[in-house]
Structure 1
Amino acid sequence: MAIYNGAVYLRESIDSILAQEGVDFEFIIVNDGSTDSTGDILAEYVQNDSRIRVINQENAGLTRALIRGCAEARGKYIARQDCGDVSLPGRLDAQLQAFLRVPRASLVSCGVRTVTDEGHLLVENIPSSEGATEGLLATDLVNVRGPAHHGSTMFPRLQYNEVGGYRKEFYFAQDLDLWSRLAEHGRHIIVEGIYYKALFAEHSISSQFRKQQVATANLIFACALARRNNKSEEIFLAQAGLIRPFHKGLIAQRLMHSNACYFLGCCLRNNGNPAAIDYLWKALKFWPLHLKALAALVRCP
């Protein structure tokens, strides 16, 4: 697990892993230069549980933190976990058993329940295992289909290293890049049932940098095509290395937050949750001319 200034969510995420039963594990946490109370919380946990290993480094971003953490791993399998998310009871054991049942598996994921900061249900995603591997071998946005969430995955450490692991060039979509290479060397198995709870907040990276995510995904597809035709990926990796987050002006930030609140409000409205009204009002507060948010608010009961 990599973390940067996530102290408010940290304890619940750590506790969800430490409560896992039926498996032996080490819990590697990379503190990516946090400036809040993350370091103090991690120090407390290290004193009380020998399974936790903390790596402190200067802030380098998620991808490089994951590279560092996976390089330190000593177990046969590596399971991802994001700060703010919760591994539900039985997750690690269920995924381990999937690997034991399917020796050719190179990636195992599970169903995911996505919630808001307040814990309101947004969506439950339980993908089918049918076509799961082929979905990761697709080379376009229309047909690609991956795990329900980055944090819900587990993969063999040996195969992770053999395919080259996470690659530093990919600030965005580093998960898709890894999964597409793992799928070339084994099967993607999806464990039935929901074993992971993911947080989706206004500041989530997927809600902030959609254009960069799409551009990076297209470069990942180009890399896959080159690789499968025994051609060099270097030109595409170089282009991916140039895609980085940028500081958005105040107007762009307000519109971004408005769109995120609108999305959350619509999900909640579809679930019949009255909290939808609060998010839609918030969308209009950030951007009063958000006509879709206004229309959605009018349609709320």
Structure 2
Amino acid sequence: MRVSIYIPTHNRLDLLKKAIDSALQQTHADVEVIVVNDGSRDGTDQYLIERAQGDSRLLYINKATAEGAPKARNAAIKMATGAFITGLDDDDAFEPTRVEAFIKYWELLAGLGIQPACLYSQDVIIANGVKVRTSGKRGSVSFTDLIEFNYIGNQIFAPKEHFIGAGLFDESLPAWQDLEFFMRVLAKYGQAYLIDLPTQLYDDSPRIDRISVKSEKKIRDAFRIVSTKHASQSPRGQQLLMLRVFSPFYGVRPTLRDIWKFMRLGFWPQGMLRMLREACRKA
């Protein structure tokens, strides 16, 4: 059974090499690795040309200009020939048994009459080359769970038809692209299930190109779009998504106008009163 692994990349050649190695060295040998070079200027294009000559499982798209990770992911997904698809960021890596473990767990659940929307796993969190911790994700995730928090992480494993059927990644979103796509997958296909093994090395080293340092405007714009698409009929859902904007992860401070909007929705999740009181004092 073939599994397609997509890797979008932009100017991270040294990290990309490790990501590709980890994808090609899976214990499940029938993989294809599709790298989309999103306008890199660091020699990535030539590296992919030369590397692919030695392994037919490595495919690539060298784009002349950068158009963003969602568009790169979608190009790879459309190109994929695997029955199942999963993704890998260019600064992360897979444990050798990741794909094999996903396939076996999918088959186990299917044998029990369970049809997952997708699978996800625990991660080993790495910072500056040092293992920090192993994630403690919950055993299953529903669409409503994702309104509260992205309990899945940054990658899923699912049949190609689930990626296509859910509509692929929204290329217009300025942020939250993974979250919003996962919402559509779960809304259409049901529960996501955890394989309780750390099968991915997730690099959490501080860098200026991480989403957490994206502009406040992009985060607020993403909230408005996702809230409209997925929580327009749920005041509670809108509030939970709004709380994400003002989490320490992004560092966005609520304004008095935000507080007024939040109050009008009628619910008061734990901790929000303290956050809003602090914002009022500094406003």
Work out the CA distance in 2 between the residues paired with 1:139 and 1:43.
39
Please give the TM-score of this superposition, normalised by the length of structure 2.
Answer: 0.72
Work out the CA distance in 2 between the residues paired with 1:124 and 1:156.
26
Contact 2:173 2:225 in 1 (8 A): no
Contact 1:63 1:171 in 2 (8 A): no
CA-to-aligned-CA distance 1:124-170 (integer Å, 9 cap, x gap): 213121xx323x42474xx234213x1x4212110111111111112
Aligned to 2:280: none
Aligned to 1:195: 199
How many positions carry a matched residue from both structures?
222
Work out the CA distance in 1 between the residues paired with 2:224 and 2:132.
28
- Matched to 1:128, the amino acid is R
2:118 to 90, 97, 107: 107
Work out the CA distance in 2 between the residues paired with 1:89 and 1:227.
43
| Mapped pair 1:179 → 2:182 | yes
Matched position secondary structure for 1:21: coil
Q: CA 1:204–1:198 in structure 2 vs 1: closer, same or farther (change >3 Å)?
A: farther
- Matched to 2:71, the amino acid is R
Contact 2:146 2:183 in 1 (8 A): no
The Cα of 1:112 is off from its aligned counterpart by 0.7
Aligned to 1:147: 152
Aligned to 2:263: none
The Cα of 1:172 is off from its aligned counterpart by 1.3
Contact 2:8 2:38 in 1 (8 A): yes
Aligned to 1:297: none
Q: CA 1:210–1:101 in structure 2 vs 1: closer, same or farther (change >3 Å)?
A: farther
Work out the CA distance in 2 between the residues paired with 1:76 and 1:171.
30
Matched position secondary structure for 1:26: strand
Alignment of 1:230-269 (within 5 A): none
CA-to-aligned-CA distance 1:197-250 (integer Å, 9 cap, x gap): 11123224223127333651453233123599xxxxxxxxxxxxxxxxxxxxxx
Alignment of 1:1-301 (within 5 A): 1-57=7-63, 58-103=65-110, 104-117=115-128, 119-129=129-139, 132-134=140-142, 136-138=143-145, 140=147, 143-148=148-153, 150=154, 152-184=155-187, 185-200=189-204, 201-209=206-214, 211=216, 212-213=218-219, 215-217=221-223, 219-225=225-231
Q: CA 1:99–1:210 in structure 2 vs 1: closer, same or farther (change >3 Å)?
A: farther
Q: Over aligned residue pairs, what C-alpha RMSD do you find? A: 2.3
Aligned identity (percent) is 20
Contact 1:176 1:217 in 2 (8 A): no
Structure 1 window deviating more from structure 2 (7-16 vs 96-105): it is 96-105
Work out the CA distance in 1 between the residues paired with 2:212 and 2:72.
21
Q: CA 1:171–1:96 in structure 2 vs 1: closer, same or farther (change >3 Å)?
A: farther
Where structure 1 has 5 or more consecutive residues not aligned to the other structure, the ranges are: 229-255, 260-301
The Cα of 1:85 is off from its aligned counterpart by 0.7
Contact 1:32 1:59 in 2 (8 A): yes
Work out the CA distance in 2 between the residues paired with 1:209 and 1:157.
30
Please give the TM-score of this superposition, normalised by the length of structure 1.
Answer: 0.68
- Matched to 2:17, the amino acid is R
Contact 1:13 1:84 in 2 (8 A): yes
Q: CA 1:213–1:196 in structure 2 vs 1: closer, same or farther (change >3 Å)?
A: farther
